[in-house]
Structure 1
């Protein structure tokens, strides 16, 4: 069984943002509202969102699009589905049939009805679009129908216990607008049912949203959010200290400490995003099982957490322990001496690919892993890429060797990693194995999450401990800096943000 340990995360009062250079127009001074009234929140991201299309986009960008476009199902404080969102109820009428009830009378901000037909369209896009980031998770869905405006019936080919969990990461898009604009056009000006609507974008500089006056839920306490981005942590800190932004995302330990010393509030939260080393088992050198094992034994996740993050991350040895505060039943422990014996005198060459600016201190992490591999006999070539290129190369099966990628459980269910990264037909496809495919299917066919847990333990042991296709490293501990007087933005471990109560 996955064993609980003391949870290291809490829901903080923070916010996140998007980017401009220091001193750029619009970053400093009075935002143009009465000091006693609602203000525009200035939020600073660590990278420019690759796309604001929730059908095709990696979930790292949902912090921006989720202000405008909402998930079908909301989650509660325990990361479990609740009935407070677009979908307000569900019933499993048979092992392969689910009936969902929608909130009546919803409209998209452009006036289109946000009804059951829109849900059907979004789910079909998610299942069928070649560019869908969630395509693999919905391959088991056989049919989606809307018998009336507020009812959606989903039938699956085989039992699938976690369907409701998956709908927490499916964002509702307006059928006509999405078809007319296409993915690129939608990304340029998203339309949804959310508390904010698209306002403006300055290409390469910022994205702004403003309050949706017709929002069905509680209205925001601010006038909107302007997202800017800065890839350098020192620049994010400087922008926060100079009052150019209200919230700075992703401050590494040294910058977080500097922010505290300057009198700013910093909130740290363990997220569910798992930084993982993926080994490509279908190509040299890691088509040889003994070299995969050697690489797994060479990497010391505890040293990375202590040496690079000063303990401000959570070392994690499993792929399927999704929620913060959990660990796998079995794990691989670093053993460089055994790794050297497995490598021998062959000195195999390894490409080590990583996103150069996407995750906190990722360059240092890559360099530490490369050094560990070289110490046991590998020859390492570093390949830093921008995040968008890395995603394309992962999806296009263009990579070999080892690459660093964030496994993000946008739904708090083990299958999000199992189907997303372990199946032959998955996002990464780096460890094809009929036995793994069989275990993934077997887990989904269980009655519920409790019944599936034993299967997931077996699956994690096979893929991580025995086959060494994955080297889980750590769950990211995010640090956010807040400007003086900023409060009310809520961050959740699944990389979700609620800006609606943010004030300054």
Structure 2
């Protein structure tokens, strides 16, 4: 499957929420004296903003502005140098050495040292409440290098994606984090392109440019992340001028094409929306789960319901993500075969719940859930829809409390399929099947590289398809309503990189 090219449309200039625009010299990255500001809508407030304790998509929008990892994942999905200028692994992929950049200064004026990196990772491993802890569970030890300018990681098992994983861990000053005594998020300190100004729970998170940043200076002076869960409110916010950038669902894109007050930018993304299953009641039968996969018309979802702003999916990662397998075979929609499987299963008509986040999650989740329920009804299944807000839904996912079907989307920020397989197929909170063969394949891909690793991924996707554990539906594109003065290319992972935003003069 190849993602279709998506057009970027910039429409008529209208009312702007932007303050006076800062002249920006793209040649040398300098910024003029005039102030500039941008307000970005986030569909959900992060469950926390301490980079040691909280790992979430919503939080990364803030983390990528405030902090740096040893590596960075740029907006195209490539792993590039961050606080480390270079790195290497031994032949076993269990010892990784990262060589630190010189002259990096934290927002509090202290200089980055290897001890800060070591302290960051040890703090994560030492706190059982940290949601980062599971992500780096393969880490056995981290030490300062003998040269005084590097950090050495020793892993419990081979892990080929470690250079991608460290991009998602924001490094904090060891002394300042310890002194904060659990309140670091109240006045956070990083090395990123922006520094903290203020945070108001349920409202917004404010940042200002770090003029001592080691990298290219951001063009925009002040950035506000505003929490707006309602899709309609995000759209009207851009059109009214109170917001400058906001994610909008596919069904709002056509209306924006005639707007004189907002532009629309659409880019292919890396979010795969899937139908999760659990072995609850009739779903314990793999033949019934297979029927569900055959019943759903992925082409219709992508082309009709989602206005062509999605691509049918046959695996749980998107093109461009490591682990995506070209030309992978997958079942076609076959309603007759699905009906036969349901009839043969002895299904008694008892309702099967389908849970989803009605706001703040997968775009148009309610409409997609209704379409899926309709398709399953056509083959003889009774589906009960259960919508909830994103925080409640996420909590149920994290605690493995789903008892039927559920609609979710995974967009791996590390741009690697390892985290997806772990979380939903091999031991994570969305793995309800404890499949020994899948667990073995998961470890095998961690220890593999290149084509060999892709061959393992192909076996993973084939096993998942055979048993219909997690049923891929489509790859979402991302569409944004933007103030026409904003010059910006969205990142493939859907996470805002505030430092990439430029305001036209």
Both proteins in one fold, TM over 0.5? yes
Cα distance in 2 for partners of 1:81, 1:5 equals: 22
User: CA, structure 1 residues 43+262, in 2 after alignment: closer, same or farther (shift >3 Å)?
Assistant: same
For residues 11 and 177 of structure 1, the distance between their equivalents in structure 2, rounded to whole angstroms, comes to 43
Distance 2:75 2:402 in 1: 37
2:307 to 299, 306, 310: 310
Aligned to 1:22: none
Structure-2 residue corresponding to 1:40: 37
Equivalence for 2:165 = 166
Give the distance between the partners of 1:175 and 1:12, measured in 2 at CA. Answer: 45
The aligned residue for residue 91 of structure 2 is 94
Matched with 1:454 is 455
CA distance in 1, matches of 2:407, 2:327: 20
Q: Say if 2:318 and 2:475, in contact at 8 Å, map to a contact too.
A: no
Q: Does the residue aligned with 2:440 lie in a helix, a strand or coil?
A: helix
Which residue of 321, 327, 346 maps to 2:348? Answer: 346
The residue number in structure 1 matching 2:429 is: 427
Q: C-alpha separation between the residues in 2 aligned to 1:499 and 1:482?
A: 14
**Which range moves more in the overlay, 60-69 or 108-117?**
108-117
1:368 to 367, 371, 374: 371
**Deviation (angstroms), 1:98:** 1.3
Q: Does 1:154 align with 2:185?
A: no
Superposed CA RMSD: 2.8
Taking structure 2 as the reference length, the TM-score comes to 0.87
Structure 1 counterpart of 2:439? 437
Query: How is 1:88-237 mapped onto 2 (pairs within 5 angstroms)?
Result: 88-95=85-92, 96-127=94-125, 129-147=127-145, 149-181=148-180, 185-237=183-235
- Residues 90 and 100 in structure 1, CA contact (< 8 A), matched pair in contact too: yes
Secondary structure of 2:283's partner? coil
What's the TM-score, normalizing by structure 1? 0.87
**1:252-331 to 2 correspondence within 5 Å?**
252-263=249-260, 264-281=262-279, 283-321=280-318, 323=320, 327=326, 329-331=328-330
| Whole-angstrom distance in 2 between the partners of 1:226 and 1:288 | 49
CA contact (8 A) 1:12 1:491 kept: no
Aligned length: 481
Query: CA 1:126/1:303 → structure 2, altered by over 3 Å: closer, same or farther?
Result: farther
Q: In 2 relative to 1, CA 50–308 (structure 1 residues): closer, same or farther, beyond 3 Å?
A: farther
Q: Residue 399 of structure 2 corresponds to which residue in structure 1?
A: 396
Partners of 2:267 and 2:477 within 8 A in 1:
yes
Any idea what SS the aligned residue of 2:46 has? coil
Residues 201 and 137 of structure 1, relative CA distance in 2, 3 Å threshold: closer
Q: CA deviation at 1:28?
A: 8.0
Secondary structure, counterpart of 1:496 in structure 2: coil
- Indicate the larger mover: 264-273 or 211-220: 211-220
Contact 1:280 1:401 in 2 (8 A): yes
Identify if the C-alpha distance between structure 1 residues 386 and 380 changes in structure 2 by more than 3 Å, giving closer, same or farther.
same
Measured in 2, the distance between the counterparts of 1:10 and 1:426 equals 36
Rounded to whole Å, the distance in 2 between the matches of 1:453 and 1:339 is 30
What whole-Å deviation, never above 9, does each CA across 1:313-349 have from its counterpart, x for those lacking one?
1221101455279656122322222222222251132
Q: CA deviation at 1:103?
A: 1.0
Structure 2: 5+ residue stretches without partners: 24-32
State the shift of 1:182 in Å: 6.2
**Does the 8 Å contact 1:266/1:482 carry over to 2?**
yes
* Post-superposition offset of 1:267: 0.9
Q: Which deviates more from structure 2 when the two are superposed, residues 117-126 or residues 435-444?
A: 117-126
Residue pair 1:207, 1:228 contacting (<8 A) in 2 also: yes
Moved more, 161-170 or 103-112: 103-112
The match for 2:29 is none
TM-fit CA distance, 1:398: 1.2
Cα 1:455–1:12, aligned 2, differ >3 Å: closer, same or farther?
farther
Structure 1, unmatched stretches of 5+, are 15-26
Q: Which segment is superposed worse, 32-41 or 157-166?
A: 32-41
**Deviation at residue 230 of structure 1 after TM alignment:** 2.6
